[in-house]
Structure 1
Amino acid sequence: MTKFFTHNAHLIESSKSINIFDYFTYFFYFLFIFFQVISNSSWHFFINLGDLASPLSRTNIFFLIVLFLISCLRDWNIKQFIVTMVLTFILLAYFLKYGSNLFSVFLVLVLVGMAINPVKLLKIDFYARLFSVLLIIFLSLIGILPKSGNAGSYTDFYYSVFLYGFTWSPILGYLILIIFLEFILLFKIKKSVLVATTILYVFFQLSIGYMTGIIGGAMAIILLFLSRHKFFNLPSLALLTYPFLFLVTVYVSIYYNSASSMWALWNDITSFRISIWQYYLQNWKINFFGNIIPDQSNIIGSTVPGHGALDGGYIFFLIKYGFLSIMIIYSLIVIVKYEYDNKIQKDISRNGFWIFVIISILTAFSETSSFLAYFSPFAALLGSLAFFNRDKLKIELEYRDKVID
């Protein structure tokens, strides 16, 4: 142990100095997620405190920029530097075309994720989302925010209904799904606790009618048990599922026929998403960088299917941000698969992370939420799993092992 301190003192001192900035990164990531969740609730309609009317508001963008700059105060390697240059160029190109936009935020969070250990990232995210959601629910229970009632007059969105301080049941439902996933994947819990938590989770999702949450939670439990068997390859499942669901989305959007009873059945099963996808695909063509689309969600009329509510991560990002956005997300998953095969990275990113990635991929078929920062840590997690400094991680592991010895 003395020999280790003697020969590696400069590495330990470097690690200690970086830890100060690590804590700032953790703190600002917590704040960013907190404000993202708050901005996705009814807060700004009833509480005049801060510019929190949208996840892309000036307050949120300010915290995102500060978070990114602080995350840059770390040890770098060549790979991180190259990836940062490439993704920064891409996100600036999207910013110049669209202004503040969801895909640029996605890319910034990938860059932020590089600075955070994946385990710590999900733990911070878990506590930030749990605290934020409980706060909004509490404010609705004491009457500061609405617990129920029609919200369309506030949001100009046809389907808006207040629910425990949020403006739509899928918003709260997906946030609860993410919190549930992080809880069962991060913490060592007894089977009895897992069963009780799952029952409560399913009961709540049933009470608000959010089937995506029920299916996503069920798939997570199934994958959790299957992952214990060596024959079940989670990384390969992720690599196959993403392009499969993307191609299925494009296929049904192109070939949907409202006159067919079979297509009508599938459209009904998907809550009329297919007809909405086709509407957008017919009006805005697929291209490399996407389209500038006027807001359709506030159009109350029969001319826009589903009142313009475009749900589905693959079709939303494809039409809005182009084929490049779809390819970048998939490329990040491929890189994570490559890093997963590294011995040190495998010790850190166990099967739990792949379960989270797979559930995000699956739910992206029907929901855009998994690709959006105010719903999920998916973007930051990909950045962490793919590019977190393995050299720094190796030093931390060696130091911990030596201290134990």
Structure 2
Amino acid sequence: MKESFELTQTSTGGESAFSSFKRTLTEFAYGFFVLLQVIGLSAWDLFLPKIGGPTSVLALSTLLMVVLLGAISTWTISRMVLVAIVLALSFIYIYLFRNSVFLFCLIAILAGQGFTPKRLIKTDLYFRGFGVALIVTLSFLGILPMSGRGEQLTGNFFTSFSYGFLSPNTLGFLVLIVGLDAYLHVSQKWQKVSILVLALFFESLLKYLTGILGVMTLIIVSIFFHKGKSNQTAMTARYRIFCLASVLFFLFATFGSCYIAKNYNSTDTVWNFANKLFSLRFPIWQYYYEGWPPSLFGNIIYVDQSTVGLIGFGAFDGSYLYFLLKYGWVAISIILLAMIYALKHTKDYFSRRILVLFVAVTLVTGIPETPGFLVAYSPFFLLLGSLFINSSSKGDPAAKELRN
């Protein structure tokens, strides 16, 4: 044991060359994965099809590399239990669906164990920001389409090119996540305010209401958790209120979506008014709910967005209901439990600040958006894995190794 310890330490007691190399390689592997996701969401996908996206072979292989690099560290009992549970669930969902968004979520939780929350946010900001800037620049240079309909090229009815991306919503959500990363990364008040103003400007320019809602959520939660002259007791009380509110919001959104899908009535004036507020999603939810009711491990649902023959042209927006119908009560429960664990065991102020902002934005934007937005566009699930190893045990050697 002593020899193993010496192999990972320098003679001066600092970080070893191997640990430094592994950390850098892990960051670049994750950064490459992020770039693949951004490319897969852009018109570049027309020239290099299936290179990106949360379920592409290359993307999953890169993420598995991040998992393996993060596994080269000291293991604890709690970490072994987590990995065993995640692997068991992965095998079940591979058997049922072969490849799925939820499988990606599980792998992402494991991949996050190779980072501290701070390094994860920094890496995500640099690579996701670079990817978005690259695609937008290519559109201004005329290499990628800046605007116009593109369903005939992609086979997707909702394709509407926007600055090199396949839709304004895609770019809008990426701007939201890059803005959130940047907001957490900078320290000066004027920098944070500038980022929020710029984010609101770009979301308004794209006319992306979900993005505007996400930025407003970020502002409200930031004000709620502003430290200022508040004492530790007050901050702890606010955090507990947020934890309770987050769990209740998750449950309300899940069961509320089911209630809407089950009881929506197109002939009722009140229902129609509410349906308009939700951009006409209610009949789409009802169509999928009645066709594939909730089950333990979900249903095989084929969502075809290349036809006008389906209600909503095949779109299935609404992450809570999608995860429930597609991957079952097990999947939706795992996501809730992972969030609860992270909220309960995250202790230090900065990690809590990262967590509450990502949880708040994810919960709110998850109602109208697709599950892919929460997976391919955000480091949320990696953050949950990162917080697990960094907070599961105060004396965890693996966590100490990451912090070096």
Identify whether the pair has TM-score above 0.5, normalized to the shorter chain: yes
Deviations 1:334-382 (A, max 9, x none): 1112212xxxx42551323212112111111111257643111111111
SS of aligned partner of 1:350: helix
Q: Distance in 1 between matches of 2:184 and 2:296?
A: 36
Percent sequence identity over matched residues? 31
Q: Distance in 2 between matches of 1:224 and 1:157?
A: 37
The amino acid that maps onto 1:328 is I
- The equivalent of 1:188 in structure 2 is 187
Inter-CA distance 125–92: structure 2 relative to 1 (3 Å threshold): same
Select 1:318's aligned residue among 308, 321, 324: 324
Q: Distance in 2 between matches of 1:249 and 1:98?
A: 24
Inter-CA distance 394–164: structure 2 relative to 1 (3 Å threshold): closer
SS of aligned partner of 2:161: strand
Q: Distance in 2 between matches of 1:392 and 1:26?
A: 20
Q: 1:393 offset after TM fit, Å?
A: 7.0
Residue 109 of structure 1 pairs with residue 108 of structure 2: yes
- The equivalent of 2:225 in structure 1 is 227
Q: Distance in 2 between matches of 1:179 and 1:12?
A: 35
Q: 1:98 offset after TM fit, Å?
A: 1.0
Inter-CA distance 21–190: structure 2 relative to 1 (3 Å threshold): same
- The equivalent of 2:43 in structure 1 is 42
Q: Distance in 2 between matches of 1:55 and 1:312?
A: 17
- The equivalent of 1:88 in structure 2 is 87
Q: Distance in 1 between matches of 2:332 and 2:50?
A: 31
Residue 385 of structure 1 pairs with residue 399 of structure 2: no
Any residues of structure 2 matched to 1:3-402 within 5 Å, and which?
A: 12-13=9-10, 16=16, 17-45=18-46, 47-48=47-48, 51-52=50-51, 54-191=53-190, 193-228=191-226, 230=234, 231-233=237-239, 234-301=242-309, 304-340=310-346, 345-369=347-371, 372-388=374-390, 390=393, 391-392=396-397, 395=400
CA contact 2:343–2:355 (8 Å) conserved in 1: no
CA contact 1:40–1:55 (8 Å) conserved in 2: no
CA contact 1:35–1:60 (8 Å) conserved in 2: yes
Q: 1:64 offset after TM fit, Å?
A: 2.1
Q: 1:312 offset after TM fit, Å?
A: 1.2
Q: 1:150 offset after TM fit, Å?
A: 0.5
SS of aligned partner of 1:87: helix
Name the TM-score, length of structure 1 as normaliser: 0.88
SS of aligned partner of 2:106: helix
Q: 1:12 offset after TM fit, Å?
A: 4.5
SS of aligned partner of 1:85: helix
Q: Distance in 2 between matches of 1:11 and 1:62?
A: 27
Q: Distance in 2 between matches of 1:35 and 1:332?
A: 26
Question: RMSD over aligned Cα, in angstroms?
Answer: 2.3
Q: Distance in 2 between matches of 1:395 and 1:365?
A: 37
- The equivalent of 1:3 in structure 2 is none
Deviations 1:151-190 (A, max 9, x none): 1112222221000111111111111111111111222122
Deviations 1:207-228 (A, max 9, x none): 2110010011011011101112
Deviations 1:258-301 (A, max 9, x none): 11110001111100111111110011111011111123322213
The amino acid that maps onto 2:212 is I
Q: Distance in 2 between matches of 1:65 and 1:185?
A: 27
CA contact 2:303–2:316 (8 Å) conserved in 1: no
Q: 1:204 offset after TM fit, Å?
A: 1.5
CA contact 2:182–2:195 (8 Å) conserved in 1: no
Q: Distance in 2 between matches of 1:274 and 1:51?
A: 31
Which is further off, 55-64 or 278-287? 55-64
Q: 1:54 offset after TM fit, Å?
A: 4.1
CA contact 1:224–1:352 (8 Å) conserved in 2: no
Which is further off, 228-237 or 263-272? 228-237
CA contact 1:186–1:352 (8 Å) conserved in 2: no
Q: Which consecutive unaligned segments of at least 5 residues does structure 1 have? A: 1-7, 401-405
SS of aligned partner of 1:316: helix
Q: Distance in 1 between matches of 2:84 and 2:339?
A: 19
Which is further off, 347-356 or 178-187? 347-356
The amino acid that maps onto 2:33 is F
Deviations 1:11-60 (A, max 9, x none): 84596343432222111011111111111111021x34x85164422222
Give the count of matched residue pairs: 383
The amino acid that maps onto 1:318 is L
Q: 1:396 offset after TM fit, Å?
A: 6.3
Name the TM-score, length of structure 2 as normaliser: 0.89
